[in-house]
Amino acid sequence: MKRILVPTDFSKQAENALQVAVQMAKKHDSEIYLIHSLEMPLHLGNSGATGSLPESLYFIKLAEKNFEDLFKKPYLKGVKIREAIGHAEIYEDIKEAVEKNKLDLVVMGSHGASGFKEMFIGSNTEKVVRTSKIPVLVIKNHHVDFKINDFVFATDFSEECRDSFKEAQKFAKAAGAQLHLLYINTPNDFRTSAEANTMMLKFITGSGLENFSLNVYNDTSVEKGILNFAKDMKAQLIGMSTHGRKGLSHFFNGSISEDMVNHANMPVITFKIK
């Protein structure tokens, strides 16, 4: 976690994420890359639009002023920060920044989305979670002291999740947290306790896992099971793997990790299945 990317629209949610990133940066001596994606009116994307250049410059100057005001915040003192202004959609700017600067983690704020907005539009955070090749830590609330003691990592213990599990294991160790590996039993995909325990033990064999617990939780859906287990555990963080589905595949199949990002009130971290 030496290079942390924080996207910002200068909202309260974005600042909540930045404050968490700063706490992590101070703990691990990390550098923060702060990026703002310009959200200009659609007509400015038309190069033939009259007066588009002055209007574009206005939005750039506004972003620079917002950065200037943000850097006056006392909690940023002593933290290494690089700022940048992106000109594409947020997930595209993040992808470019990650590839260019070899970043390790994205920390971003979200207020989630629900109902028709979630179905037809989705949130910027959801798009980033779906497309990011590096872990994405989503922050919903203000954290005076962001400390993770109990980290719930929900998985189906399949081979395709092994790499993302290793990333979660590495994150838990760096955070000094106990890792609670979780399998959700649902009526449609039920396993006996013996079957589930055999599967989980096989999955972690040879991983060198320390400070962990193995858990099977029964519920009516995977999402409800994860949320209820995390609540029972009084966990500070939920972790999941994400497939990064796109287009119609995403629309019809959805993603539990993206639903979790929208619906969970606690921090959620996602790891891309490679």
Q: Do 161 and 255 reside in the same domain of the chain?
A: yes
> What is the phi/psi pair of residue 267, to 5°?
-60, 145
pLDDT by residue (tens digit) across 119-134?
A: 333 478 888 888 899 9
**Shared-domain flag, residues 8 and 122:** yes
Integer Cα distance of 17 and 146 in angstroms: 10
Residue 126 shares a structural domain with residue 178: no
Give the end of a domain, one of 91, 113, 141: 141
Please tell me the predicted confidence (pLDDT) of residue 263.
Answer: 81
pLDDT of the residue at 44: 53
The CATH number of whichever domain residue 115 belongs to comes to: 3.40.50.620
State whether 2 and 117 are in the same domain.
Answer: yes
- Residue 45, helix vs strand vs coil: helix
What's the pLDDT tens digit per position in 6-22? 999 999 999 999 999 99
**What whole-number distance in Å separates Cα of residue 255 and Cα of residue 244?**
8
258 and 244 both lie in a single domain: yes
Residue 60 and residue 153 in one domain = no
Q: Give the model's confidence band at 245: pLDDT under 50 very low, under 70 low, under 90 confident, else very high.
A: low
Quote the tokens at residue 101: 């600067």
Query: Does residue 178 carry a pLDDT above 50?
Result: yes
Domain count for the chain: 2
Instruction: For residue 90, give its domain range.
Output: 1-141
Mark which of 141, 156, 191 sits at the end of a domain. Answer: 141
CA-to-CA distance for 240 and 269, rounded, in angstroms? Answer: 7
Same domain, 99 and 193: no
**116 — pLDDT class (breaks 50, 70, 90):** very low
Last residue of one domain, picked from the residues 108, 141, 174: 141
Which pLDDT does position 16 carry in this prediction? 95
**Residue tagged 């099977």 (tokens):** 216
User: Do 185 and 111 reside in the same domain of the chain?
Assistant: no
- What's the rounded Cα separation, in Å, for the pair 136 and 274? 15
11 lies in the same domain as 32: yes
Mean pLDDT within 219-234: 94
| Same-domain check for residues 3 and 125 | yes
Both 93 and 174 in a single domain?
A: no
- Mean pLDDT, the chain, integer: 87
- The DSSP element (H or E) to which 214 belongs, if any, is strand 212-218
Do 159 and 254 fall within a single domain?
Answer: yes
